Amino acid sequence: MRRVTEPPVLDESGLDRALDRLRQAVRRRGLKGSSVRDAIARAALQRRGHFSVDDLLKELRERGVTDVHTSTVYRVLPLLVEVGLLQMTLVSAGDGARYERAFEREHHDHLICTRCGKIVEFEVEAIEALQREVAERFGFRLTDHVHELLGTCKDCSAAAARG
């Protein structure tokens, strides 16, 4: 078992590879290229940690991308997940979906504190092996998974015990 460290921000060549993957997927769908879609992807891929749609919109506006609408971001994010650039995670049921970079990043799972929102990223090969075994037993071929364990972190547990 090991704690997963946050990866470095993608450099320009990494962003170019990611945007190339996106553009190829867009062409395969018969869609036109879009500078706004590219700007959304670029901002999302350069974010550290987990982020919401609101976080991404704020980032885009800080970058001077003012012609992007909330509905456009909501349409682009599922495409970024589908092509493997982002991963969606439900890190907090009350706050809705959050996203994080998946492109050129190792797989990991999450421990989430339901009180303070703290997220610990971890990887345990035994859990991965068990998931594969369960899928095989039931005739499934796994393509992806999201594994999140909800609970209370030690700081919040200690605070609750103090009253």
Residues 99, 112, single domain; the answer is no
Q: Is the pLDDT of residue 18 over 80?
A: yes
Provide the mean pLDDT of the chain.
91
Whether residue 5 sits in one domain with residue 49: yes
The verdict on 51 and 4 lying in the same domain is yes
Residue range(s) defining the domain that contains residue 118 = 107-163
Binned at pLDDT 50, 70 and 90, residue 95 comes out as: low
Look at residue 92 in the predicted model and tell me its pLDDT. 53
Same-domain status, 57 and 22: yes
Give the CATH number for residue 139: 3.30.1490.190
Residue 51 carries which DSSP code? B
Instruction: Grade residue 94 by pLDDT with cuts at 50, 70 and 90.
Output: low
Name 27's Cβ contacts closer than 8 Å, sequence gap at least 6: none
pLDDT, one tens digit per residue, over 34-65 is 999 999 999 999 999 889 999 999 999 999 99
The crossing angle, in degrees rounded to 10, of helices 70-82 and 53-62 is 110
If one counts the domains in the chain, the total is 2
Whether the per-residue pLDDT at 8 is higher than 90: the answer is no
Does residue 74 share a domain with residue 117? no
Same domain? 11 vs 58: yes
Q: Domain holding 3: CATH number?
A: 1.10.10.10
pTM of this prediction? 0.82
d(CA 25, CA 23): 5
